[in-house]
Amino acid sequence: MHDLELAYGHIQALRGVSFEVPAGQIVAVVGANGAGKTTLLSAISGLVRPQRGRIIYQGQDVTAWPAHRIVAAGLAQVPEGRAILGSMTVQENLELGLFARDGRAGPAIDDMLARFPILRERRYQPAASLSGGEQQMLAMARGLLQGPKLLLLDEPSMGLAPMLVNQVFDVIRDIHSQGTTVLLVEQNARKALALADRAFVLEQGRIALSGSGAELLDNEAVVRAYVGAA
């Protein structure tokens, strides 16, 4: 991403944001509510258009690409709030991940059910009947079924009990260990920074600090502003 700027009317959500997500790494973006984190992921995914700047993915300028073309290129987003279809079964939600793949190679539903055993147990239940943690697992499984090279995760631990938060981060660690690059937006700064190879602090649409996850976890200003409240 190079010099991204994006405004909603008079509200400037992104202000000259530039950073890279190296292949094979976990990159975390932390910051307060309203800092522009979700807008950043939405711009990368093609859901909103920046007014200025470029988004380069695997050597191609994808700034003006529609969202479905970006997904087809190997980039998938698991949105904040999970966005599962509650009236559909777990199986049907997973099938949507295959549909989004549009013929590209990737994991099968049985692979996802092996990775997330609770989903196998709930396979034919309405997704709305799942707990919050189970819904998050379903959203992540659906994203992985798209066969992404880069997975964008928007607040995956939001609203979950501490034990379930640990499970979600274990899954992220496992996803990464199997070769998927991860861009993680997360308010639980302690967990995110401990996991990340590289990290950024976003404040009012600007990158205020950057470094390795360990460096930011040791930064007193970051700890005071974000980690202490995590």
Does some domain include residue 208?
yes
Supply the pLDDT for residue 224: 83
Q: Establish if 62 belongs to a structural domain.
A: no
100 in any annotated domain: yes
- pTM (whole model) above 0.85: yes
Residue 80: what pLDDT?
A: 80
Structural contact between residues 47 and 67, judged by C-beta atoms closer than 8 angstroms: yes
Number of domains in the chain: 1
Domain range enclosing 97: 22-45+76-229
Give residue 164's pLDDT.
83
Q: Which amino acid is at 209?
A: L
In a domain, 11, yes or no: no
CA distance 145 to 91: 12
pLDDT for 159: 81
pLDDT of residue 119: 92
pLDDT in tens, the chain (230 residues): 899 999 998 899 999 999 999 999 999 999 988 899 999 999 999 999 999 999 999 999 999 999 989 988 899 999 887 688 888 999 999 988 887 666 666 678 898 898 888 999 999 999 999 988 889 889 989 988 888 899 999 999 888 888 888 888 998 999 899 899 999 999 889 999 999 999 999 999 999 999 999 999 999 888 888 875 44
Nearest-angstrom CA–CA distance, 72 and 70: 5
CA distances from residue 175 to 28, 41, 59 in whole angstroms, order as listed:
15, 19, 23
- Kindly state whether residue 138 falls inside one of the protein's structural domains: yes
Domain containing residue 223: CATH number: 3.40.50.300
Residue 207 maps to a domain = yes
Rounded Cα distance between 15 and 3, Å, is 8
* Distance of alpha carbon 197 from alpha carbon 216, whole angstroms: 11
> What is the three-class DSSP state of 129?
helix
Q: Say what the pLDDT of residue 228 is.
A: 57
Specify if 6 maps to a domain.
no
Position 221 in a domain: yes
State residue 105's pLDDT score: 61
